[in-house]
Amino acid sequence: MWNLSIQLIIVCVYIALLFGISFYVKRRADKGSTEYLFAGRKLSAGLIAVNITGLAVGAASTVGVAENAFKVGMAAGWYNAAWAAGAIIMGLVAAGKLRAMKISTIPEFFEKYYDTKGRVISAVGLVIIMSVITALQYLAGGAILASLLPDIFSFKGGMMMSAVVFIGITLIGGLWSSGLSNIVSVCLIYLGVLYSCVAAVNNAGGIGNITAQLPPTLDWFDPLAGIPLAVIIGWFIVMITQAITAQGPVQIACGARDAKTARKGFILGGILIFPIGFLCALLGIVAKVSFPDITATMALPKVVMSLNPVASGTTLAALWAADVSTACTILLGAGTLFSQDIYKRFINPSVSDEKFVTVNRLTIFGVGLITLWFAFNAAGILKTMIAGLSMTTALTCVFLFTVFAPGLCRRSSAFYTTLVGLLGLVVWEFVPALHVLQHVIYFEWLICIVTFLAVAVIDKTPIKVPEYVEEEA
């Protein structure tokens, strides 16, 4: 009971702190849609870094990686390395350009240089992507709270509590709330995971003893064993792809003080993201030895709960913090997409800024409830995440051609490339013969590039060549 009390206090303090931060910035967020959605475009490089780290290090990067490591070993950690690569490439290639354009969403970019159909279909695709990812944060949040406080939360009860916190924080303070909360969350994540790795390995008798007890069918600590190299490369392609055009990273980039700040923040964020995956993979391997009969999804929560109450409470609060930070950014992104690319563009173009903020908040609330329902029916965290993020392939393909090869771009390129990309995922699921490519992302890039080039031949209507604001030195 004493242990439970300590863990409950830690969780309650953390929740109170998050809501305290959110109410602290509410007055600033209420000043208008730019403040609410993009933090007034005033984020520093440090805040950019913790925001992209908070977005990246969520359910898939912690609970999902440990779940995978429970089955395949240390190689599961490459998921986070892939996310780190995505953040760095985003910083080098796209973040500065997106900020210099002063746009709000990739669909807005599509209409600016292509057509209205491109904007609509890309907005729909992105909303689907973010709904999938948000649902997975609920799934992981439920597992964490059910392990941390089993006498208070069932798995579904933990998911519902997670939803209350995720939605509540985002509703109150928008990107300001998410940005400042991530400072706390990222610090907690690093402290909690680092301590847990040291303590869990010591409790299990050291690396040598862990190795001796693992099934001999696999070299568990070999980072290139357990997962085919083609799959790992696929992860890198997925993460680099989504980092450039998914609304979460785009919104963070657009909230930067200037283009130079956006670039620096993403590169620093990539460095912060890298180690977490392999640390969580190590905890998944420890769980394989200490709790071989549990379900893989419970690997990380279970091994952390075996530590002393202060350590377990702090670490699981940190893991839950990872979910909070990811879910808040994604929910905000979903609200931005609907309000900016659908409501304001097609339903009420003359909406006042005050009402526009209200529409965003209502959208966030609605998306939060819908994704909670989806979470009750979600499959494996990492597998589902990868499939969802693969949907950004078409968007990234269009964006890169627009920026680096505008002469090949045609007015209908965005629409048809995005349509084929979305349909391609459906085809992949129902045509097993395509799986010789080993990963859906290879198939997605193949069909998207072919479609884009085919449209370049058939359609003779060029786009307007993009004009960029000169970036700061």
User: pLDDT tens, 221-243?
Assistant: 999 888 999 889 999 998 999 89
Asked whether the beta carbons of 126 and 144 are under 8 A apart, the reply is no
Mind listing the pLDDT tens digit for each residue in 148-176? 678 888 888 888 888 888 899 888 888 88
**Would the CA dihedral through 341, 342, 346, 348 be positive or negative?**
negative
pLDDT band at 247 (very low <50, low <70, confident <90, very high): confident
Average pLDDT over residues 362-388: 74
> What's the pLDDT score for residue 450?
97
pLDDT tens digits, one per residue of 323-367 = 777 788 888 888 888 888 888 988 999 989 888 888 889 988 988
Specify the higher pLDDT residue, 143 or 4: 143
Q: Contact 447/426 with Cβ under 8 angstroms? A: no
Q: How confident is the model at residue 388 (pLDDT cuts 50, 70, 90)?
A: low
Distance in angstroms (rounded) separating the CA atoms of residues 112 and 302: 49
Q: Is residue 128 scored above 50 in pLDDT? A: yes
Give the chain's end-to-end CA distance (angstroms, integer): 58
Q: What is the pLDDT of residue 380?
A: 54
Question: What is the pLDDT, as a whole number, of residue 471?
Answer: 45
Question: Is residue 472 very low, low, confident or very high in pLDDT (cuts 50, 70, 90)?
Answer: very low
The answer to whether residue 473 scores a pLDDT higher than 60 is no
- Structural domains in the chain, sorted by start: 2-392 (1.20.1730.10)
| pLDDT at 470 exceeding the cut of 60 | no
Question: Residue 416 burial (CB < 10 Å; 0-12/13-18/19+)?
Answer: buried
